[in-house]
A and B are shown apart, each in its own frame.
Chain A
Amino acid sequence: MQLTDKHREYWGKNLRLTAVLLAIWFVATFVAIYFARELNEIVILGFPLGFYMGAQGALIIYVLVIWFYARSMNKLDQEYGVQEGEE
């Protein structure tokens, strides 16, 4: 079938959201590790920040990223009328 402009817009928005969330994932993981030695100089509540990012900070960010993606995409489906029918 032929895709309408609305469909293309939906896919474009999906790609943009995916790219932004992927960038967050990348920073929380690879940039944080790369600068772990420097981040460890900062200590919050007894945790050196570089260590904390690897042990817990990055994990919390991952959970939030996935939660946000699921919520936004499920809304976007509704908005563009591509959601699935009820069971």
Chain B
Amino acid sequence: MSALTQSQFFSQLKKYYTFYTGGFIAFVIVLAILEQMGVPNRIIGYIFLFATIALYAGIGIMSKTADVAEYYVAGRRVPAIFNGMATGADWMSAASFIGMAGTLYLAGFDGLAFVMGWTGGYVLVALFLAPYLRKFGQFTIPDFLGARYGGNIPRTIGVIAAIICSFVYVVAQIYGVGIITARFTGIEFQYGVWLGLAGILVCSFLGGMRAVTWTQVAQYIILIIAYLIPVVWLSLAHTGNPIPQVAYGQALQKVTALENELNDATTVKGAAEASARAAHKAKQDEFEGKLKALDEAVTAGQGDAFLAAERTAAGSPADFPADIAALKEKWSKAADGHKKASGAVSAHATAFAGKGAEKKLLKDNPNASAEEVAAAQAEDEAASDVKRRNFLALVLCLMVGTASLPHILMRYYTTPSVREARKSVFWSLFFIFLLYFTAPALAVLAKYEVYSNLVGTSFASLPAWVSNWAAVDATLMKIADINGDGIVQLAEITIGGDLIVLATPEIAGLPYVISGLVAAGGLAAALSTADGLLLTIANALSHDVYYKMLDPHASTVRRLTVAKTLLLVVAAIAAYTASLKPGNILFLVGAAFSLAASAFFPALVLGVFWKRANKLGAILGMIAGLGVCIYYMVITYEFFGGVPANEWWSIKPIAAGVFGIPIGFLGVIIGSLISPAPAKEVQELVDHVRYPNLEGSVSTQTS
């Protein structure tokens, strides 16, 4: 292929991928026909899973390479639009694909922090980083830190930060692969993890960045088709308009009207809700009473006797908690669940709802004095302001974190020129935007379906998708007639976030083949992100640590052997960690954004925009930013032994970057000002990256 000019290469790629997209659609149609002919769902699930993994493996094998520039940066010939698709797939993880719409369903307005944060960050990538990194033109992000600030210390800090952020993120992806494989094929989670790992490795192992790039383009096409088809269908079925992003305005108005009806006890539906909520409240009190009795028994030294009595009373089922701590956890969970269900429906579009203190006061005591009402209003307002502050902080961290994650920035090294790098950021965000701008519509359409059609039906005639999912997984769908009236109330339904995307094909009345397609899309999202991350970690170790620091004279063959060996080792460690099912994985992924933002962003941006920034500044800024961020998480997040009471201005630990980023900038500035200006060569390097073409300047590009 190297004999082709860039434009020939581009038209050939267009041909290949058009053909590929057509082939994939034909494949889905064939499966749909097979389904009609009576092939069981399980077999269709298997075919989807194995056919797509085999496809990715095929692309990986076709793109195998022994060339260093091909392995690390795909030969720097990826056209803007294809790099955009690859970045889209690299960026959108299992959490975006499966979880995003569900988060919006459950959290309403507050969930929009993720939609804004995970897209707006690309503005920062475009304005501050992508073109300059492309001009610099080496292999990794620590490479830039090493060249700009000199010496091994900035590079080493960069390597450590890149590994921390990417590793927690890759564990979450492999975990996602395990879940999807398990759910759609019945293979056990632990085996699903290793199977998914095999799918990831065939790509990156043989062809490095080159194979990963072309696989990611293929994965993007699958994931976007899989996401859009069911939503468009649902929108058409419910509103008669095939453009969900426009149609859901109507649905949102109806949802808001239904929310008011359900919260108003004078209407028929509202009264039924009130009785279901009262039943939940009674259950909550019952469990809280039980917990109190348990605590008293433990204090009196009779905890074990109490446990034994409870077990007998429950008929000694096999899954009864084995010890006091487990029983306590089970009961507190139950009490919390009932407490949640006993509250009023929260309004989807309302921004930063207060805690409802005023409403509660007026309900408990309709004759409350003016001072009491004012106090309750102030309480609501304070709660609302705290929510707004956290929303702002989280958006900032997610955005700056997006612009600091090495696996994303690295992708802009692969375009042929600075011009293409700029265009490529546009295409990246455009392709990401297609999904993110659909998710809020899907959340509202699903909510409308639940509020208008599911609520009020009788338990004897539940829709098929409800009973199916309730039977498969109680964490996704739980429904029970708690007030015994035989009619479904909203308070009787518990929905897990992931259900929304997974069940959309069934809600829309589409055949099973579309469910298989959605699973394949989720798998593509998880695999592509995992590929990019694994490569980032392995490259930081093989290129930055081994080649740049330990053995700068290593031969090409040796460098690639080391890179590939490390890839295997890192992948195996990540898969092993994922198979242990670490419970706090979602928090850690969110935390990765704050960590990356605090560690990288100040040093990278000032490295381009402020010539005076120097080595001491970079070291100080990176360590201080990362340090403050980690410190804040440790003192406030329970998993690390912290307590929420330590929070500064009530900012949640996930947004720790809001303190780390400014400290990072401050560190770079102070450190630079107290030490001499950087050498002339470094200043020339800065000029070099600022101008796409500067005659007579130094050259940094390694081709």
Interface residues of A (CB under 8 A from B): 1, 3, 7, 10-11, 14, 18, 21-22, 25, 28-30, 33-34, 36-37, 40, 45-48, 50-51, 54-56, 58-60, 62-63, 65-67, 69-70, 73-74, 77, 82-85, 87
CB pair B123 A21 closer than 8 Å: yes
CB pair A62 B422 closer than 8 Å: no
Known A-B contacts A1-B695, A25-B120, A29-B116; the reply to A74 vs B419 at CB < 8 A is yes
Q: Which residues of A contact B245 (CB under 8 A)?
A: 56
Nearest neighbor of A39 in chain B, beta-carbon distance: B351
Nearest neighbor of A76 in chain B, beta-carbon distance: B692
Number of A-B residue pairs at CB separation under 8 A: 146
The 7 closest A-B pairs by CB, nearest first: A46-B249, A54-B112, A55-B440, A36-B351, A70-B422, A51-B349, A87-B6
Count of B interface residues, CB-CB < 8 Å: 59
What DSSP secondary structure best describes chain B's contact surface?
helix
Q: Which residues of A contact B119 (CB under 8 A)?
A: 58-59, 62
CA separation between A28 and B694, bound complex, in Å? 35
> 16 pairs across A/B with beta carbons < 8 Å?
A1-B695, A1-B696, A14-B690, A34-B392, A45-B246, A51-B112, A51-B252, A54-B109, A54-B115, A56-B245, A56-B437, A58-B116, A62-B119, A67-B426, A74-B419, A87-B6
Q: Which of B120, B245, B384, B417 counts the most chain A CB atoms within 10 A?
A: B120
Q: Which residues of B contact A18 (CB under 8 A)?
A: 127-128
Q: Which of B116, B417, B419 contacts A54 (CB 8 A)?
A: B116
Known A-B contacts A59-B436, A66-B429; the reply to A87 vs B250 at CB < 8 A is no
What DSSP secondary structure best describes chain A's contact surface?
helix
Q: Which residues of A contact B193 (CB under 8 A)?
A: none
CB pair A83 B693 closer than 8 Å: yes
CA separation between A36 and B352, bound complex, in Å? 9
Q: Which of A21, A63, A84, A87 contacts B127 (CB 8 A)?
A: A21
B416 within 8 A of A: yes
Q: Which residues of B contact A50 (CB under 8 A)?
A: 109, 349, 351
Q: Which residues of B contact A74 (CB under 8 A)?
A: 419, 422-423
Nearest neighbor of A81 in chain B, beta-carbon distance: B693
Nearest neighbor of B417 in chain A, beta-carbon distance: A84
A39 CB, min distance to chain B CBs, angstroms = 8
Nearest neighbor of A58 in chain B, beta-carbon distance: B116
Nearest neighbor of B118 in chain A, beta-carbon distance: A59
CA separation between A59 and B684, bound complex, in Å? 37
B122 within 8 A of A: yes
Q: Which of B250, B392, B695 contacts A30 (CB 8 A)?
A: B392
CA separation between A36 and B109, bound complex, in Å? 10
CA separation between A83 and B418, bound complex, in Å? 9
CB pair A84 B440 closer than 8 Å: no
CB pair B127 A83 closer than 8 Å: no
Q: Which of B7, B250, B693 contacts A84 (CB 8 A)?
A: B693
CA separation between A70 and B426, bound complex, in Å? 8
Q: Which of A1, A46, A55 contacts B694 (CB 8 A)?
A: A1
Nearest neighbor of B416 in chain A, beta-carbon distance: A87
CB pair A29 B120 closer than 8 Å: yes
CB pair B388 A36 closer than 8 Å: yes
B345 within 8 A of A: no
Q: Which residues of A contact B384 (CB under 8 A)?
A: 37
